[in-house]
Chain A
Amino acid sequence: DGGITQSPKYLFRKEGQNVTLSCEQNLNHDAMYWYRQDPGQGLRLIYYSQIVNDFQKGDIAEGYSVSREKKESFPLTVTSAQKNPTAFYLCASSIRANTGELFFGEGSRLTVL
């Protein structure tokens, strides 16, 4: 089945540690996105990539980093510079950047202890 796989589903981290969230898609989509979800705030864009080896900052990129070395993969690293990293993280993809319709993974919940 085609889709987007995020891992891990749940992750606990100590303050000061970096953590990497995985996102893999087998939909052959060009564009991929990372959103952060907090209660009552909707989804906010962290980073997006329209094509392999290229990515752009979204609205809340500070304290995060990404890479796009393969079309299928768009991992997100939450660094120790992120002041409030506890959140639900959602990865999405679209056929191309201008189609609008996004397909989402199941999400990763990060808790900082």
Chain B
Amino acid sequence: AQSVTQLGSHVSVSEGALVLLRCNYSSSVPPYLFWYVQYPNQGLQLLLKYTSAATLVKGINGFEAEFKKSETSFHLTKPSAHMRDAAEYFCAVRTYSGGGADGLTFGKGTHLIIQP
């Protein structure tokens, strides 16, 4: 089975400060990992994805994430936070069953708050 755990339901940083959102995964097969962002009352938008190529993945809006197999982690970072980064962030892992891949399993989300 596959699962993800996001550490911290809320993270608050000052504008211009480093953003670090933590995600740990569990997977019985080599994982495909994703970060999505959600603004209020909207759907999810893909930030970046890891699919077994380079371990440092760059995404949109200045975000990046590093896959660390030894730590089973896929933390999301951004060097300098902007007010527009305030949103809900979800880490996800590709899910497998006996019939093949079945979509994604999501973490519970981290609400990012940007202090002016």
A→B interface (CB under 8 Å): 4, 6, 31, 33, 35, 40-45, 48, 50, 56, 58, 88, 90, 92, 94, 97-107, 109
Contact = CB atoms under 8 A, between A and B. Distances in A.
A42 B106 contact: yes
Interface of B: 9, 32, 34, 36, 41-46, 49, 51, 90, 94-95, 99-109
A102 B104 contact: yes
Contacts of B99: 50, 56
Contacts of B90: 42-43
Contacts of A35: 106
A100 B49 contact: yes
B47 to A, nearest CB: 11
Contacts of B46: 101-103
Contacts of A90: 43-44
B103 A97 contact: yes
Nearest to B42: A106
Contacts of A56: 99, 102
A42 B43 contact: no
A104 B45 contact: yes
Contacts of A42: 90, 106-109
A72 B4 CA distance: 30
A46 B56 CA distance: 32
Contact of B106 (A4, A43, A99, A105): A43
